[in-house]
Chains A and B, each alone.
Chain A
Amino acid sequence: MTSAEAREILLLYRPGTADSAEPEMAEALALARQDPELGRWFEEHRAFQKAISAGFRQIEAPAHLKASLLIRGPARRALVTPQVWWRRPVWLTAAATGLLVLGLAGIWLRPRIPDRFANYRSRMVGEAQLAYRMDLETNDMQQVRQYMASHGAPADYDLTRGLERLQMTGGGRLTWRSKPVTMVCFDRGDKQMLFLFVMKRTAVKDPPPETPQLAKVRQMLVASWTRGDNTYVLAGPEEANFLRKYL
């Protein structure tokens, strides 16, 4: 191996990796120990590699990216490996049947009383995080109101000044304990979404007060308040001045 050939090989040398285990690399390294000129070049090259590598590793992901991935991430149920039903153990099928019966019984026999607001809020945040689906995509609020009214969902909701300034992307009708919920989606302008959920205040035992209450729910920042007949939940990624910006 000549010095020039060794240089060519050592160019690809990375300390701390398995590269040096390759026979060619080992031979080139041995030559660098013997040849002063090659050795000097190699030392400089290593310093170069270290500096460039350090520069690359300084690249930092923006703070909002992770939250955005998790918020806008697709439905987690899609991540479960689909299994062919006939390959499942019989007892699993039996257990599933049992659970289904119990579940149906629970639904039929459950007391028809309003539930806790915290449960509703958590469910709505889950909708936003996992599988929100807009029934209509539009930036026309009137269209959303008409759609909600025609589908029995709250259409008389008030928008805060902060929300009025945002671009609306659409809306959807959801249900919670058989009660209709209006979902309105807003684009914050930085590729992140805000979700406003509106439901009649009588649907929960303990509606939030008129003054917006801020809470962190499932890695989202959520403001909740009641106005008139409606209770409101606004969910979005964590952000400083959340209340001041959107309420």
Chain B
Amino acid sequence: MRTSGSAARGRLRRARVAVAGAAVGGGLAYALATQGGGAAAAAPPSASALYPALGTSGPTGLIFASAKQIETSAPSRSGPVWRLEAGAYGAGAPLPETIRRLPGTDADAATWIAESREGGVCVMVSPTRRVDGVYPVGATCGDGMAALEHGIVVTYVYPEGGAMLLAGVVPAGTDSVAVALSNGTSARAGVSAGGWALTTTSEPVSYTLLPSGETVTIGGE
């Protein structure tokens, strides 16, 4: 993943402002460190500071199931499933108790945000219709400041080919996301509660956070 340098610095400044703002209500250690004169090294913002949706509550729309239940009762024939055992997916995966549903920005995609065991942020996506009789879920997590500042994207590709769902989470202050596609066109998705999603038939090449203008390249070096 590559990002533009000046835009990244601007993003960092805005992120810190957002964190400081959030800290007024939340009492975050980061804000306490920076408000004391700024000479001391500031702690990096936490995932929950940059992603306020992590602090929300409400029904997730997920079915939390044990490995035994998945084996015996096929719960994902009724809805998307996530395993409830702690550590079921190992490191770098969404923690069940932190999963929060995001408002839908694409009718075909259900999306969630979560924290990882390592303190990173995760994004999860599921199609809103059954595929081969089930509602599959894709999930990935990013740790470290770069991932927190640039957001995380996960793609679900339908087995029949053609269409795919893109879902992402972006830090506070992002209003929309412009996605450059491999066919030379671009698509724009509005951000709601830090989440966005869109359906496309062309692979994503990069995405730009707006209004900051920071562009993140997808697809490796």
Q: Do A and B come from one complex?
A: no
Binding site for B on A (CB under 8 A): none
